[in-house]
Chains A and B, each alone.
Chain A
Amino acid sequence: GAGVSQSPSNKVTEKGKDVELRCDPISGHTALYWYRQRLGQGLEFLIYFQGNSAPDKSGLPSDRFSAERTGESVSTLTIQRTQQEDSAVYLCASSPRLAGSTDTQYFGPGTRLTVL
């Protein structure tokens, strides 16, 4: 079946512009994560949606970052007034949240954001 998809695959924007990144999780996966990965670095947790519960936003680096998810489907990560330091690959992952699930995550290919 289809895996996690993300769009666009690449985004180049000018400093100060807003960007929207999209994630389509695997159908039926109720948990969805956003991460940021700077070049050659580890994963930085941003936000986590778990079904209908309030999202865990503890990783968002500033109020310029926000994310939404409609039900158990698509999620969008929005970065307002982008800065050069926002340049990174943004990864989305989804996980089934069945009873007894171990939370194994399935990652999308990422969106590479470059802020000029």
Chain B
Amino acid sequence: AQSVAQPEDQVNVAEGNPLTVKCTYSVSGNPYLFWYVQYPNRGLQFLLKYITGDNLVKGSYGFEAEFNKSQTSFHLKKPSALVSDSALYFCAVRVQNTGGFKTIFGAGTRLFVKA
């Protein structure tokens, strides 16, 4: 079955330290992978995506994600975390379905950055 998994419900990191939010996937064919972020009391917004090309994708707010085909992973990273990065992060993958394709989301990982 095609799926996406975020193995950590919560990630805690100190401000200034690097952060990683994990995501693994299972799809048939080449994956289209996404990260979305939901800040407190705000809507969900697109952060970055991998379609093809360079395995390291750069997105908004200094975030980046590394596509690893052999490990079927797409971990979100940032070299130096900010308190304002505290939010709920969702990994998503585009999968084939009848009539075309659709996007499925992981369960989300809550990131807490402490000052």
Which residues of B68-101 have CB atoms within 8 Å of chain A's CB atoms?
Answer: 90, 92, 94, 97-101
A-B contact count (CB 8 A): 56
Answer whether A42 and B102 are a contact pair too, CB < 8 Å, given A91-B44, A109-B43.
no
Q: Give Cα A33 to B92, complex, Å.
A: 14
Contacts of B13 in A (CB 8 A): none
Answer whether A50 and B108 are a contact pair too, CB < 8 Å, given A102-B49, A104-B49, A110-B43.
no
The one of A45, A48, A97, A109 in contact with B105, judged by C-beta atoms closer than 8 angstroms, is: A45
Q: Give Cα A109 to B44, complex, Å.
A: 8
Contact between A42 and B90, CB atoms less than 8 A apart: yes
Contact between B102 and A103, CB atoms less than 8 A apart: yes
Whether a CB of chain B sits under 8 angstroms from the CB of A56 is: yes
Contacts of B55 in A (CB 8 A): none
Contact between B46 and A105, CB atoms less than 8 A apart: yes
Contacts of B92 in A (CB 8 A): 105
Contact between B99 and A53, CB atoms less than 8 A apart: yes
Contact between B100 and A53, CB atoms less than 8 A apart: yes
Contact between B105 and A106, CB atoms less than 8 A apart: no
The one of B51, B97, B105, B106 in contact with A102, judged by C-beta atoms closer than 8 angstroms, is: B51
Minimum CB–CB distance for B93 against chain A, Å: 10
Give 10 new A-B contacts, CB below 8 A, not counting A43-B90, A95-B103: A33-B103, A35-B105, A41-B108, A42-B105, A42-B106, A50-B102, A91-B43, A103-B102, A103-B103, A104-B46
User: Shortest 4 CB-CB distances between A and B: which pairs?
Assistant: A42-B107, A42-B108, A53-B99, A107-B44
